[in-house]
Structure 1
Amino acid sequence: MSPQLKILTPIGMLGYSYNKETFWAAVEAGVDAIILDSGSTDSGPSKLALRKSIQTNEAYKKDLEDIVAACHYHRTPVLIGEKSQKFEVAESNFFKGSAGGDGSTRGVNQIGDIIQSVIERGGYRSMKVIKILAEIEKDVIREKHRRGMIRPCGISVPDLVEEDINEARTIVAQMGVEPWIKAMNDHPDFDIMIGGRSYDPSPYAAFCAWKGFPDLGISYHMGKIMECGGLCTSPKSREALATVRHDYFDITPLDPESVCTSTSVAAHTLYEKTRPDVLVGPGGTLDLHSTTYEELEDGRSVRVRGAKFIPVKDNEYTIKLEAGKLDGFFSIFMGGFRDAVLISQIDKFLEAMKTYVAQKIDFPFDINVQLFGRDAVMGALEPNSGQTGHELGILLRARAETQDQATHVCQSARVYCMHAPYPGQRASAGNFAMPCAPLDIPMGPVSEFCMYHLMTVSDPCENFPITAIVMEGSNTAPQRDSSGVDVQVVVNRHATATNGGIQTKSAKSTVTTSVLGREPPTGHKFLADLASVVRSKNSGPYELTFDVMFSTEQSRDIVKNAKILTAEKISTLYNVPVSDVIACLWWDPAIAFKATIKRSIVSGSFHDSDAHGSAQHMPFMELPIPVGNIAI
């Protein structure tokens, strides 16, 4: 039994690119596996509903070229999984999960085809490739639904109805570690493993278990951090290395400009999660209440201990189902208003526009309007450059049953915006700056989530078929010259340490003005000036989560003792009922506060304004915190 495993994640998402020199330095120094992510629901339901990939074939190929080469030259296994698609480098295998972005059979085959082409072009040896599929037929779902074995994944998700199943374009299930382990046991001589939809840390934990590291608390927690690559570093970077031992693991950034700190690593369990202390997945719960984070003497690594995995009871194993559907077509136009008279009455003007379109159109339609503003209309001619409030940009989306109908609605709304009169009008030539041609742009089908549910299964592997193929190669690649690879990682001890991988000012900063550009009420500080990180993000498509992190315990205690960050305050900030505040807690290991609310509009649906959920943090930033005469 090996005393340790070294796992390399070159990037948090396949296709996002990574530093090839850093990658090869790590590989030449010796790693047991390369694991990385290749998919996500963060950007909405379109990948599932439209059966498309997150990245282009060219982007996947560029990242896979060096990974497959590492598999050829070093016989290092690679794993890719999804939501986290991952690669692992260890002796003679290549794993891949949630291929192609949506975890479907199409996506798995797409990545397989690219790997075959890389093997052929590179003149690499033949490789045994394992595919684990995650797509599920509708008849299976219907039968489970009729038997009451499907329930919503969280309180924000509605109950599943038969119509959801009928309209689903592609249904995938999120696998745990068991199908991965079974594939490795069935094919111990594999080179590459391509997995469909997978729980983020599953490939990591499965590989560890297969290599004789059975503690799922340690391996799941490691995988939860590593699946985003170097996002847990300060400042955030791309490549990260995990060293796993039987009672702890270490995380080390490979970018010499980055370091790990105890808070930056602890903070990663806040990211995209409903809450940071209890993480539920296939087969059980990861309990992080007793975890510790120790900064090591190298000045850049952090050692993590104490996570516990609590397995589910017999007959309670569930897998998550995900699916998207199509709901009509939409077209858009973009432009801007610069007339102050019109801007002063813009709400009434846009309501009149909707009435005008409704009177003109004799078929069902829907309109969504988003307003933006600053320097878009006049550009270089703008005399008030940098100021806000003097102009408005507009993005209008029109939805209808067909694309032509949607474009007709869009065109009608745009003509009104161009030429409709309004009280006090002086500019009779037109109201509206139009930067794009064609003016009315057809965008295609509207995608929406229709399934985000848990299905009870008797066998964790029963819905994930495993196939093995040999991808033929000529084995004519020249011997790799590694003489120029510098495997020494230089520590930049002047790198700025931050929370959550986001660079911030030093705790000793002498800056006195607010980062918001205006002063808070007397005796107060804006939360933006007390915290080092204030961010928002999806926690799945039905929830929005917020992280507030601090550089010092002193700053945290000022906010904590003010007792302002409550469920009631969050309800007020975001105009939601208190019952929709799902989580509201302090997380001291990361010197942080966490809140999660139910999304009022599901991610990526027609009326959603922020599919990623990452631009919803300003109400927290602008929150005044009483500080009195406390020196900060």
Structure 2
Amino acid sequence: MQDELRIFTPVGMLGYGFDESIFWSAVSDGVDAIICDSGSTDSGPAKLALGTMSCHREAYASELERFMLAAHHYRIPILIGSAGGDGSNDHVDVFVDIINEIVSRRQLRPMKVVKIYSEVSKDLVQSKLARGRITPCGEAVPQLFPEDVEEASRIVAQMGIEPYLKAMEEHPDFDVIIGGRSYDPAPYAAFCVHNGFTDLGLAWHMGKIMECGALCAKPKSREALAIIRHDSFDLRPLNPASRCTSVSVAAHTLYEKTRPDILIGPGGSLELQNATYEELSDNRTVRVRGARFIAVEEGQYTVKLEAARTRGYHSCFFGGFSDPILISKIDKFLQSVKDHVASVCKFTYDLKLTTYGLKDNIRRGLSPSIAIHGDARAETQDQATRVINAARIGCMHGSYPGQVASSGNFAMPSAPLDIPMGRVCEFCIYHLMPVDDPISLFPFTAEVIKKQDTDGEAADLMLPIHPKKKLQPVTNQNPESKSAKIGILNPPAPPGMTYLGELASVIRSKNAGPYELTFDIMFDSLAKYSHAKSSGALDVPRFAEIYSIKVSDIVAAVWWEPAMALKVTVKRPIVSGRFGETDTHGSCQHVKLLWVLIPCMDEHEKQ
């Protein structure tokens, strides 16, 4: 039995790009596997609804070529989950086609490729639904109805470790596994278990962090190495400018999650209440222990189903306003635009006009320009474009009190001015379905891909050689000092008070799945964390007031001392990517928290 496994993740999302010199440096130093995630619902429902991929095919091909050269020269196994973004069967096949092309063009050795499908039939889902066996995945998700199933373009189920384990057991000589929709850490945990590292707490915890690459580092980066042992695992960013800290690693379980202490996935839950995070002497590596995996009771295993559908067509425009007179009356002006559209479009439509920028910049003495995005939905593309054309004309030539610029209001950056956007997409299934066998839904096949008789390039002559990037210890410095914020958070806070944006080290928002939005507020000292917690400025009623939501819409509010953080998760007012959404990624909703007033710390608290 091996004492340790070295798992390399070049990037947190396949297709996003990584440093090739770091890649080859890591590979030549020796790793036991290259594992990479390729899936997400963050970018909205279009992939599932329309069959598109997260990245361009050429982006995947470029990175897979490096992976295949590593497999050819160093015999390193490759595992990829959620092919193409949604993990549909078609996108698993696309990845295998790309590998086929690479093997032939680069004249590689024969490669054994296993593909695991994850689509499930509508008949199966309808049958389970009719028996009351399907439940929402979270309290923000609505009840599922038969029409939601029928209208879905395709349905994928999110697999756990079992299909990967079965595939590796039956094909231990595999070179590549391309998985359909997968729970993000599943390939990592499965590879550990397959190789004798059977502590599921450690395996799942490591995978949950590594599937994002070195996002847990400071500053965040891409390439990451995990070294897993039977009692712990180490995390190390491979970019020389980055380091992991105990807090940055502990904080990663906040990222995109409903809560940081219990992470529920296929087959059970990962409990992190007793996890520990130790910074090692190189000042860049963190050793992690103590996570526990609690398996579900027999007969309680569930998989998450995901699906999306289309709802009409939409068209849009982009532009901006710079006249301070108009901007001072922007809300009334935009209502007049909507009134104009209603007077000329006598069919059913939806229209959303969203402004981006600070409307009170005029009072702050800053540039008063703001951007505007118009989005119209209708039954046909022509109707949607007709609506958006009328709205843009209203923005161009609408009048307003005090107007002095009579030649037009609207700055338009490029043509076409009215942009057809195709079908509107929305999530329609995000639910849990019980299964008796966690493997039965996920069939897999293996094939040996061989080079064709072509005049391709000889791989042995084309192995990239790069100078190694030395991983020197990095200093414990935060380049973003508090002074960088002062002057931005105007006007100055009242005497005895400070802004949360000046006290906290991190304030961020992000999707926690399509139906929830989560906020993380982190502090760089236990004293600041304790002060914020005891102040009451961030309790549940106050948070609800800040975001104008009901207290009942707050799904979770957890003070999490290992990361010196507060996590608050709320129901999204509009499901991610649905028509009318203004921030599909959910990453720009943190701004209101910057100006939350909190009492200044006294000298006793600072100690």
What does the per-residue CA deviation read over 1:142-169, in whole Å, with 9 as the maximum and x for residues that have no partner? 1111111110000000000111111111
Could you tell me how far 1:335 is from its partner in structure 2?
A: 2.0
The one of 525, 529, 534 aligned to 1:561: 534
Matches within 5 A, 1:134-213: 134-213=118-197
SS of the residue 1:251 aligns to: strand
Could you tell me how far 1:517 is from its partner in structure 2?
A: 4.4
User: Does residue 420 of structure 1 match 2:398?
Assistant: yes
After TM superposition, the structure 1 stretch with the greater mean CA deviation from structure 2, 479-488 or 133-142, is 479-488
Could you tell me how far 1:361 is from its partner in structure 2?
A: 1.7
What does the per-residue CA deviation read over 1:380-436, in whole Å, with 9 as the maximum and x for residues that have no partner? xxxx9x954623321111110010000011111222222233333333332322222
Paired letter, 2:102: V
Q: 1:515 touches 1:529 (CA, 8 Å); kept in 2?
A: no
Paired letter, 1:209: V
Pick closer, same or farther for the CA change 1:514–1:186 going to 2, 3 Å: same
Aligned residue in 2 for 1:310:
294
Q: 1:258 touches 1:495 (CA, 8 Å); kept in 2?
A: no
Paired letter, 1:58: E
Aligned residue in 2 for 1:91:
none
The one of 402, 407, 410 aligned to 2:385: 407
User: Does residue 234 of structure 1 match 2:218?
Assistant: yes
Aligned residue in 2 for 1:62:
62
User: Does residue 627 of structure 1 match 2:587?
Assistant: no
SS of the residue 2:181 aligns to: strand
After TM superposition, the structure 1 stretch with the greater mean CA deviation from structure 2, 66-75 or 560-569, is 560-569
Could you tell me how far 1:263 is from its partner in structure 2?
A: 0.4
Could you tell me how far 1:340 is from its partner in structure 2?
A: 3.2
Q: Distance in 1 between matches of 2:358 and 2:256?
A: 30
Aligned residue in 1 for 2:374:
396
Q: Distance in 1 between matches of 2:367 and 2:401?
A: 20
The one of 258, 279, 283 aligned to 1:274: 258
Matches within 5 A, 1:290-329: 290-329=274-313
Q: Distance in 2 between matches of 1:231 and 1:346?
A: 39
User: Does residue 601 of structure 1 match 2:574?
Assistant: yes
Paired letter, 1:459: D
SS of the residue 1:314 aligns to: coil
Paired letter, 2:121: E
After TM superposition, the structure 1 stretch with the greater mean CA deviation from structure 2, 558-567 or 347-356, is 347-356
SS of the residue 1:184 aligns to: helix
Q: Distance in 2 between matches of 1:510 and 1:351?
A: 41
Q: Distance in 2 between matches of 1:30 and 1:526?
A: 48
- Structure 2, unmatched stretches of 5+, are none
Paired letter, 1:15: G
User: Does residue 358 of structure 1 match 2:342?
Assistant: yes
Matches within 5 A, 1:183-582: 183-373=167-357, 388=366, 390-473=368-451, 477-479=458-460, 489-494=470-475, 496=477, 504-505=480-481, 513=486, 515-582=488-555
Could you tell me how far 1:333 is from its partner in structure 2?
A: 1.5
The one of 553, 558, 561 aligned to 1:588: 561
Paired letter, 1:16: Y
Q: 1:258 touches 1:492 (CA, 8 Å); kept in 2?
A: no
Pick closer, same or farther for the CA change 1:398–1:478 going to 2, 3 Å: closer
Aligned residue in 1 for 2:42:
42
TM normalised by structure 2 equals 0.95
Aligned residue in 2 for 1:126:
110
Q: Distance in 1 between matches of 2:272 and 2:485?
A: 37
Q: Distance in 2 between matches of 1:103 and 1:428?
A: 53
Pick closer, same or farther for the CA change 1:512–1:288 going to 2, 3 Å: closer
Q: Distance in 2 between matches of 1:298 and 1:352?
A: 62
Pick closer, same or farther for the CA change 1:402–1:483 going to 2, 3 Å: closer
Q: 2:520 touches 2:566 (CA, 8 Å); kept in 1?
A: yes
Aligned residue in 1 for 2:27:
27
Q: 2:216 touches 2:248 (CA, 8 Å); kept in 1?
A: yes
SS of the residue 1:231 aligns to: coil
Aligned residue in 2 for 1:92:
none
Q: Distance in 1 between matches of 2:124 and 2:366?
A: 54
User: Does residue 614 of structure 1 match 2:587?
Assistant: yes
Identity in percent: 53
Q: CA RMSD in A?
A: 2.2
What does the per-residue CA deviation read over 1:231-288, in whole Å, with 9 as the maximum and x for residues that have no partner? 0111111111001111110111111111111001101000000000000000000000
SS of the residue 1:325 aligns to: strand
Aligned residue in 2 for 1:500:
none
Could you tell me how far 1:341 is from its partner in structure 2?
A: 3.2
Q: Distance in 2 between matches of 1:483 and 1:65?
A: 12
Q: Distance in 2 between matches of 1:239 and 1:15?
A: 13
Q: 1:342 touches 1:425 (CA, 8 Å); kept in 2?
A: yes
Q: Distance in 2 between matches of 1:259 and 1:551?
A: 16
After TM superposition, the structure 1 stretch with the greater mean CA deviation from structure 2, 556-565 or 108-117, is 556-565
Q: Distance in 2 between matches of 1:206 and 1:176?
A: 8
Could you tell me how far 1:482 is from its partner in structure 2?
A: 7.5
SS of the residue 1:479 aligns to: helix
Q: Distance in 2 between matches of 1:540 and 1:288?
A: 20
Q: Distance in 2 between matches of 1:282 and 1:421?
A: 57
Q: In the comparison of the two structures, how many residue pairs are matched?
A: 601
Matches within 5 A, 1:55-94: 55-81=55-81
Q: 2:22 touches 2:469 (CA, 8 Å); kept in 1?
A: no
Pick closer, same or farther for the CA change 1:143–1:483 going to 2, 3 Å: closer
Q: 1:7 touches 1:35 (CA, 8 Å); kept in 2?
A: yes
Aligned residue in 2 for 1:86:
none
TM normalised by structure 1 equals 0.91
Could you tell me how far 1:558 is from its partner in structure 2?
A: 1.9
Q: 1:125 touches 1:476 (CA, 8 Å); kept in 2?
A: no
After TM superposition, the structure 1 stretch with the greater mean CA deviation from structure 2, 396-405 or 551-560, is 551-560
Q: Distance in 1 between matches of 2:474 and 2:293?
A: 35
Pick closer, same or farther for the CA change 1:240–1:480 going to 2, 3 Å: farther
Could you tell me how far 1:629 is from its partner in structure 2?
A: 4.1
Q: 2:283 touches 2:475 (CA, 8 Å); kept in 1?
A: no
Q: Distance in 2 between matches of 1:169 and 1:487?
A: 47
Paired letter, 2:480: T
SS of the residue 2:205 aligns to: helix
Paired letter, 1:405: Q
